């Protein structure tokens, strides 16, 4: 067999199916006919359990980019729940007892996962790490104080119910479900939270929903792994599920690679097997392992397979669904017109002692194209942040299409019909161009949780509708060719443009562009001007833009507002503004006016 | 009443150790916004250096203290330069994982050298004074006074000396500090050295108070000290000190009122409750986010 | 230093970061005792140029200070050569007092005498800072913060000041005041390289100026020449 055919086999999904089927047969045959000695079988089962743990932790820490150390707690909950059921509740010797106990263990852990997800709404990174850390100690301490499960002495009496076929089945099931989850609307939300949580929220991703789901799914499988572990060892104690256990899982995740299913398979297998192989080194193996990890972090900070995927687990290349979608432009999606789209009055915002915006007012109709200019620090971006809900104004009111949106959350404001771009491009840089656009469809996707986890029901229809719409949008702006490129790898001008297209994908009625021409060369600025005009005409959106490149402002905007010290100092047509004495003063300095 | 005072003394003793360790976490977080998860193991190394000095070299208290402090300071700088510095521009998580890795390495390296728990003989004659039912040992007095002294010294360094000013400047804005001629890398190393020295002192005091030591002792105590830093507001030096004493007081109070096995449960639950109401701790404040 | 040699010489400087080429091959020089203004619209590459000079950004091309190549020197070594950079937004350490801000920049001074000389000089220039020594610098007004930033830069006895938008966020009256101070400082023998959006203000006080547009130099000349040049106005307002 040549390398070429080997490569082809590696890419072909049927190989995976064949391997899985073979795996099932082997997992049954090995213990049945004693093909491998008991010790090797035990290691294989540990590999499977560790794969489940590693992959489910990777969902939170790798795919979602949070830093949770709580997995030992989830595992403990699953292990104890399942063990209690098989020993005390379920009749012994019945076939359904063990799978039911595993499921129950998973559910118990998922319930805890729900609890842990709540603090993650407000805090990120370090503080989530602290909360989950405390969680591990709390679970351990709680179990130690329950005499019914043996307290600190531990719990035993479980039958040896964990067998190779069960471990294999649960491992395959975990890979299947988590992969499905990642390649669904929620999975795109998970990745968006990792890439840029703030931007995700502004694009209509319900980040709270995404976090809750991710924690629930991940902790469920950690609970299942705990159940399997308990019925393999036939003895559990609270001390087994301490922070050291969590650390071990973290090592597997970051060894194999973050945000990679293949990486988790590799990391868990490598870690488990390596520990066994290095057994002759006795104590020194645990000296060697962390050293390897440190070296790995220095030379490959994201792990061996970090952010990459085995071909088998990649998303299936998707063909466009049935014909063109209905169309992406306004003509295809008419909307009721309102006379005044945006009505901002008396808007004031302070940072500490500094009043960044003071008494700002602005009215826009549904077809306006308005520019905001002003020197650095004049409060322009703060106005955008107030309108889109990033900040809550100290005073003032924002009406949008007759609705009071003052102080709402960014997601709600996006749903009301306002989308924005950012001064420093905030694309989901490690995601493809197409995924960037599809993520912005989050709020209008019909796919439910069960459908996302199983890829059944409406999943396919919904996915292809969203994908087609995203592709049409890209095609409309002649960016279809870049659909599978990584957003961060696009040339700068194209990234700016993609950010606008992504905002359009949320179907806004008002588009806020924060310095769209920043860093562009004159040619790119020319193209951008054309682009903005086209967006306005074809998508029937009102546009409000902040810009320093006067050439752009003067040629595309119909009205210009000049901001200085947080208030409008002048407003009018571009021509009026260019010769306005206060504008010259604000820009060029005092003497320019005289 | 005497019982209460007695328990307060115990809390003061334990809190001193927590506070000293918490300072190491908080100082490193202050300058690098990095959680140095290996710090609990620095503390453990301090305890083992204490064993080496007292049991093997038969040195008295003061040289032992110096050995523990200097040894751990050196270790902290070596770890910073070799493991953390290359990752300064890498994703933050890589640095955290590296710190966990360094911690596991230190635990097991120590374990490989010394597989059994060690018993430390007293470094000086421990006298216990009894007065009105109250028992105060000289060890308790030394622990509390020395810790308070070290914290006062740290407070002086941070508040008054050029190094302290530079440390605070680096924690506010590394780039601008370098523009003013502050050698940022050296300041960061110095921060690790000071944090390490305090951790070393804590290790020694802990080992003398609770004289059976093992390589995993840094895990639980370290995490708890970390929690103390968080309670006070991580990055804030006064917060770390206060947090250490608060946590110790809570733990001792729980041990008095409930079966002692509830200690961790209550302490960590309180932490979560605190974080819900004050997500940045007692003294911590969030930096505004820029869009 | 020979008479004809520039204090600071930048040749073919190109800077890129985050996928943007911010500076695309510019050359400029600053001679002893000059005030040189870099003007141009936002995002034209002025700030990146300053940051490259002080070693904060990697670059291609050559930057020489008193004839020595600066490449590879860390920022604090460049500062120790007598190049003081006041960054955009002033870079005040709001968590330090005024006094501590000043002490911090005396780091490169080895001798106490040098430090005292620096302090005296700063107080002579900015008497208001002396009144506020113990105050947390975050509570200073914008103008006072700018004075602190300038004073801090002068503490170490730097011979070359790099100033990034000293007028930003200040009222016209304060801008005038700061401008007068800069002229004063310059008369005391400090060379100044000034980045400004406020072009007229900068060019009026500058001996020479360079006009930036999209990472390239569009114009250069003496301050007076550029002041009257309509192309400067065009670079800003596009008309």
Query: How many distinct structural domains can be found in chain B?
Result: 1
Residue C77 domain-assigned (yes or no): yes
Residue B284 domain-assigned (yes or no): no
Chain position carrying tokens 């930057």: C63
Contact status of B96 with chain A (Cβ, < 8 Å): yes
Q: How many Å apart are CA B219 and CA B38, to the nearest integer?
A: 9
Q: How many Å apart are CA A113 and CA C189, to the nearest integer?
A: 66
**With an 8 Å Cβ cutoff, are A549 and C168 in contact?**
no
Residue B156 domain-assigned (yes or no): yes
Residue C17 domain-assigned (yes or no): yes
**Beta carbon pairs, B and C, within 8 Å:** 71
Residues, chain C? 239
Query: How many distinct structural domains can be found in chain C?
Result: 1
Contact status of C48 with chain B (Cβ, < 8 Å): no
pTM value surpassing 0.90: no
Residue C5 domain-assigned (yes or no): yes
Q: Does domain A335-430+499-593 have CATH number 3.40.640.10?
A: no
Instruction: Give the residue on B whose Cα is nearest the Cα of C89.
Output: B176
Distance from CA of A240 to the nearest CA of B (A): 14
Residue B282 domain-assigned (yes or no): no
Helix (H) or strand (E) holding A187: helix A185-202
Per-position b or e across C188-197, b if 16+ CB within 10 A of its CB? eebbbbbbbb
Q: Where are the domains of chain A?
A: 36-242, 335-430+499-593
- Partners of residue C176 in chain A, C-beta under 8 Å: 590
The mean per-residue pLDDT over the stretch B201-221 comes to 93
Residue C139 domain-assigned (yes or no): no
Q: pLDDT tens digits, chain C, 239 residues: what are they?
A: 444 578 999 999 999 876 678 899 999 999 999 999 998 877 778 999 999 999 999 999 999 999 999 999 999 999 999 999 999 888 899 889 999 999 888 777 667 888 888 888 899 989 989 989 999 888 888 888 999 999 999 888 889 999 998 887 777 778 888 888 999 999 999 999 999 877 888 888 999 999 988 788 988 999 889 888 888 777 665 54
Q: pLDDT tens digits, chain A, 594 residues: what are they?
A: 566 787 788 778 888 999 999 999 999 999 999 899 999 999 999 999 999 999 999 999 999 998 899 999 999 999 999 999 999 999 988 989 999 999 999 999 999 999 888 877 776 667 788 889 889 999 999 999 999 999 999 999 999 999 999 999 999 999 999 999 999 999 999 999 999 999 999 999 999 999 999 999 999 999 999 999 999 999 999 999 988 899 889 989 999 999 999 999 999 999 999 989 988 887 888 888 888 888 888 888 888 998 888 888 888 766 665 545 457 776 666 676 778 999 999 999 988 767 889 999 999 998 899 999 987 778 899 999 999 999 999 999 999 999 999 999 999 999 999 999 998 899 999 999 999 999 999 998 888 999 999 999 899 999 999 999 999 999 999 998 999 999 988 887 889 999 999 999 999 999 999 999 887 777 888 899 999 999 998 998 999 999 988 889 989 999 999 998 889 999 999 989 888 888 777 766 655 444
Distance from CA of C16 to the nearest CA of A (A): 11
* Structural domain span for residue C34: 1-82+195-239
Comparing CB atoms, the residue among A520, A565, A589 nearest residue C198 is: A589
The pLDDT, as a whole number, for residue B271 is 85
Is the complex ipTM more than 0.85?
yes
Contact status of A589 with chain C (Cβ, < 8 Å): yes
Q: DSSP string of chain C?
A: --TTS-SEEEEEEEEEETTEEEEEEEEEEE-TT-EEEEEESTTSSHHHHHHHHTTSS--EEEEEETTEE-TT--HHHHHHTTEEEE-TTTT--TTSBHHHHHHHHTTT--SHHHHHHHHHHHHHH-HHHHHTTTSBGGGS-HHHHHHHHHHHHHHTT-SEEEEE-TTTT--HHHHHHHHHHHHHHHHTT-EEEEEES-HHHHHHH-SEEEEEETTEEEEEEEHHHHHT-HHHHHHHH--
Chain position carrying tokens 């670059």: C59
Residue C75 domain-assigned (yes or no): yes
Residue C188 domain-assigned (yes or no): no
Most B CBs within 10 A among A130, A258, A282, hence the mutation to make, goes to A130
The pLDDT, as a whole number, for residue A1 is 52
Residue B89 domain-assigned (yes or no): yes
CA dihedral B35, B41, B47, B52 (to 10 degrees): -130
Residue B287 domain-assigned (yes or no): no
Contact status of A153 with chain B (Cβ, < 8 Å): no
Q: Is A532 helix (H, G, I), strand (E, B) or coil?
A: helix
Residue C69 domain-assigned (yes or no): yes
Residues C145-156: tens digit of each pLDDT: 999 999 999 888
Contact status of B259 with chain A (Cβ, < 8 Å): yes
* Structural domain span for residue B151: 2-277
Residue B88 domain-assigned (yes or no): yes
Comparing CB atoms, the residue among B165, B172, B185 nearest residue C94 is: B172
Which chains share 3+ C-beta pairs under 8 angstroms with C? A, B
Residue C233 domain-assigned (yes or no): yes
Q: What CATH number does the domain containing C2 carry?
A: 3.40.50.300
Distance of alpha carbon B11 from its chain centroid, rounded? 16
Q: What CATH number does the domain containing B96 carry?
A: 1.10.3470
- State whether the Cα torsion C100-C102-C106-C112 is positive or negative: negative
């Amino acid at each position: 067999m040549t390398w070429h055919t080997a490569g082809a086999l590696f890419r072909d999904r049927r190989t995976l199916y064949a391997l899985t089927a073979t795996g099932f047969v082997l997992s049954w045959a090995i213990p049945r006919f004693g093909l491998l000695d008991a010790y090797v079988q035990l290691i294989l089962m540990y590999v499977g359990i560790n794969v489940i743990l590693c992959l489910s932790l990777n969902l939170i820490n790798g795919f979602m980019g949070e830093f949770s150390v709580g997995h030992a707690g989830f595992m403990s909950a699953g292990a104890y729940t399942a063990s209690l059921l098989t020993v005390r509740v379920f009749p012994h010797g019945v076939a359904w007892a063990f799978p039911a106990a595993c499921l129950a263990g998973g559910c118990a852990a998922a319930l805890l996962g729900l609890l842990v997800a709540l603090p993650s709404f407000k805090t990120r990174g370090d503080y989530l790490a602290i909360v989950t850390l405390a969680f591990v100690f709390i679970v351990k301490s709680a179990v130690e104080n329950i005499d019914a499960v043996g307290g600190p002495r531990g719990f035993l009496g479980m039958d040896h119910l964990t067998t190779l076929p069960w471990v294999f089945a649960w491992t395959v099931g975990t890979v299947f479900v988590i992969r499905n989850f990642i390649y669904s609307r929620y999975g795109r939300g998970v990745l968006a939270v990792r890439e840029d949580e703030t931007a995700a929220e502004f694009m209509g991703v319900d980040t709270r929903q995404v976090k809750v789901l991710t924690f629930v799914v991940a902790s469920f499988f950690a609970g299942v792994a705990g159940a399997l572990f308990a019925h393999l060892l036939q003895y559990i104690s609270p001390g087994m599920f301490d922070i050291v256990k969590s650390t071990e899982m973290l090592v597997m995740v970051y060894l194999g690679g973050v945000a990679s299913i293949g990486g988790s398979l590799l990391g868990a297998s490598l870690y488990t097997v390596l520990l066994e192989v290095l057994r002759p080194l006795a104590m020194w193996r645990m000296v060697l392992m962390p050293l390897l990890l440190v070296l790995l972090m220095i030379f490959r900070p994201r792990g061996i397979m970090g952010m990459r995927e085995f071909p088998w687990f990649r998303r299936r290349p998707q063909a466009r669904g049935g014909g063109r979608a209905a169309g992406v432009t306004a003509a295809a999606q008419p909307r009721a017109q309102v006379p005044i789209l945006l009505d901002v009055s008396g808007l004031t915002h302070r940072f500490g002692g500094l009043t960044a915006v003071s008494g700002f007012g602005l009215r826009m109709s549904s077809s306006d194209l308005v520019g905001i200019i002003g020197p650095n620090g004049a409060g322009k971006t703060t106005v955008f942040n107030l309108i889109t809900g990033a900040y809550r104004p100290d005073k003032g009111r924002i009406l949008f299409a007759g609705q009071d949106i003052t102080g709402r959350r960014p997601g709600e404001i996006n749903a009301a019909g306002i989308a924005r771009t950012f001064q420093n491009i905030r694309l989901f840089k490690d995601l493809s161009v197409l995924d960037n656009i599809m993520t912005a469809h989050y709020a209008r996707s019909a796919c439910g949780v069960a459908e996302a986890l199983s890829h059944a029901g409406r999943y396919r229809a919904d996915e292809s509708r969203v994908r087609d719409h995203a592709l049409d949008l890209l095609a409309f702006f002649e960016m279809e060719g870049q659909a599978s490129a990584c957003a961060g790898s696009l040339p700068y001008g194209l990234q700016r443009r993609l950010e606008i297209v992504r905002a359009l994908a949320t179907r806004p009625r008002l588009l806020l562009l924060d310095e769209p021409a920043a860093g562009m060369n004159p040619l790119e600025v020319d193209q951008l001007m054309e682009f903005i005009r086209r967006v306005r005409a074809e998508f029937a959106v009102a546009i409000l833009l902040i810009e320093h490149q006067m050439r752009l402002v003067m040629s595309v905007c119909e009205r210009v507002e000049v901001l200085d010290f947080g208030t409008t100092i002048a407003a009018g047509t571009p021509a009026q503004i260019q010769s306005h004495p206060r504008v010259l003063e604000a820009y060029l300095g005092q003497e320019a006016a005289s | 009443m005497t019982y209460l005072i007695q328990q307060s003394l115990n809390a003061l003793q334990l809190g001193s150790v927590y506070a000293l360790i918490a300072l190491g976490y908080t100082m490193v977080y202050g300058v690098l916004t990095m959680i140095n998860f290996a710090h609990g193991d620095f503390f453990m190394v301090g305890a083992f250096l204490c064993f080496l000095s007292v049991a093997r070299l038969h040195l008295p208290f003061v040289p032992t203290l110096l050995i523990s402090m200097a040894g751990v300071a050196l270790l902290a700088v070596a770890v910073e330069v070799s493991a953390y510095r290359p990752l300064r521009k890498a994703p933050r998580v890589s640095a955290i994982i590296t710190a966990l890795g360094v911690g596991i390495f230190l635990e097991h390296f120590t374990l490989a050298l010394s597989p059994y728990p060690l018993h430390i003989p007293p470094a000086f004659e421990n006298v216990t004074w009894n007065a009105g039912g109250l028992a105060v040992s000289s060890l308790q007095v030394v622990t509390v006074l020395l810790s308070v002294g070290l914290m006062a010294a740290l407070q002086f360094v941070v508040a008054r000396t050029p190094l302290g000013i530079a440390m605070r400047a680096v924690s506010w804005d590394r780039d601008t500090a370098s523009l003013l001629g502050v050698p940022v890398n050296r300041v960061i190393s110095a921060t690790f050295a000071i944090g390490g020295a305090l951790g070393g002192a804590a290790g020694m005091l802990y080992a003398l108070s609770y004289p059976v030591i093992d390589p995993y002792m840094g895990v639980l105590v370290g995490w708890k000290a970390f929690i103390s830093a968080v309670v006070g507001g991580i990055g804030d030096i006064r917060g770390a000190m206060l947090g250490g004493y608060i946590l110790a007081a809570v733990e001792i109070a729980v041990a008095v009122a409930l079966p002692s096995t509830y200690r961790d449960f209550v302490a960590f639950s309180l932490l979560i409750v605190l974080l819900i109401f004050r997500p940045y701790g007692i003294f911590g404040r969030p930096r505004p986010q820029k869009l | 230093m020979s008479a004809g040699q520039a204090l600071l010489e930048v040749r073919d400087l190109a800077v890129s970061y985050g996928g943007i080429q911010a500076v695309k091959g510019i050359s400029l020089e600053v001679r002893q005792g000059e005030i040189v203004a870099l003007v141009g619209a936002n995002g034209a590459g002025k700030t990146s140029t300053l940051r490259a000079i002080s070693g904060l950004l990697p670059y291609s091309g050559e930057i020489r200070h008193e004839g020595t190549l600066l490449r590879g020197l860390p920022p604090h070594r460049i500062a120790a050569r007598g190049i003081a950079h006041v960054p955009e937004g002033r870079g005040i350490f709001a968590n330090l007092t005024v006094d501590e801000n000043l002490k911090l920049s005396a780091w490169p001074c080895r001798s106490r005498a040098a430090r005292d000389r620096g302090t005296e000089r700063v107080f002579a220039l900015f008497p208001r800072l002396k009144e506020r020594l113990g105050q947390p610098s975050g509570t200073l007004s914008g103008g006072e913060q700018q004075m602190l930033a300038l004073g801090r830069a002068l503490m170490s006895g730097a011979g070359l000041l790099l100033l990034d938008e000293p007028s930003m966020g200040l009222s016209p009256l304060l801008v005038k005041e700061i401008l007068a101070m800069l002229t004063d400082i310059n008369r005391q023998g400090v060379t100044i390289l000034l980045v400004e959006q406020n072009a007229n203000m900068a060019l009026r006080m500058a001996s020479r100026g360079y006009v930036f547009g999209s990472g390239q130099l569009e114009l250069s000349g003496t301050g007076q020449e550029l002041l009257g040049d309509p192309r400067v106005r065009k670079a800003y307002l596009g008309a």
